[in-house]
Amino acid sequence: MKKIYCNIKKCLGCGSCEIACAVEHSKSKKLNKAIEESPLPIKRRKAQFVMQGVAISTGCHHCEEAACVAACMSGAMYKDKKTGETKHDKDKCVGCWMCIMSCPFGVLAREKQEKIVVKCDLCADREVPACVEACPTGALLFGTLKEFEKKLSSIKKG
């Protein structure tokens, strides 16, 4: 399936992906307005540090055997049978946080006012997710595992 991969060798941990994600999921989709919205838009991607000078941008991995889907007792979290994407239906979510308890990567966030979970939706309205577009070093790739591997080997050769 197509999802977002991070090349740790290129990731600076600058947080551009986080900002782009939060803005994309804001009401206005504009940074200057998004920062004044209430509730504040929530990022579904996190730039994290592995050690000094080594970073990784992490979001939902759309796991094949998604633990969050097994844990979801309201049927809000589900796998899209066509795309393989792990999707979340906010109308069904009751905010029990069982998916947060189960996510192996700790990438689900809480919208505390509405009491629902929010997660990476691969920017359903866009061709390329906002985080990937915003990454200044090209560390993020939106594609299949094969495409990611191909890109990595072309970097090595280059």
Q: How many residues bind other proteins (CB under 8 A)?
A: 47
Give the Å distances, CA to CA, from 140 to 58, 89, 112, 125.
10, 26, 29, 18
Distance separating alpha carbons of residues 30 and 79, to the nearest angstrom: 30
Q: Is position 116 an interface residue for other proteins (rule: CB under 8 A)?
A: no
By the 8 A CB rule, do 120 and 85 touch?
no
By the 8 A CB rule, do 6 and 56 touch?
yes
Q: Is position 120 an interface residue for other proteins (rule: CB under 8 A)?
A: no
Exactly one of 12, 35, 96, 128 binds other proteins (CB under 8 A); which one? 96
Cβ closer to other proteins: 35 or 67?
67
Q: Which long-range contacts (CB under 8 A, 24 or more apart) does 150-157 make?
A: 151/7, 152/7, 155/7
Cβ closer to other proteins: 91 or 125?
91
- The H or E element that residue 32 is part of is helix 31-34
Q: Is position 102 an interface residue for other proteins (rule: CB under 8 A)?
A: yes
Q: Is position 39 an interface residue for other proteins (rule: CB under 8 A)?
A: no
Q: Is position 14 an interface residue for other proteins (rule: CB under 8 A)?
A: no
Footprint of other proteins on this chain (CB under 8 A)?
5-9, 46, 48-51, 54-56, 58, 61, 63-65, 67, 70-75, 92, 94-98, 100-110, 112, 145, 148-149, 152
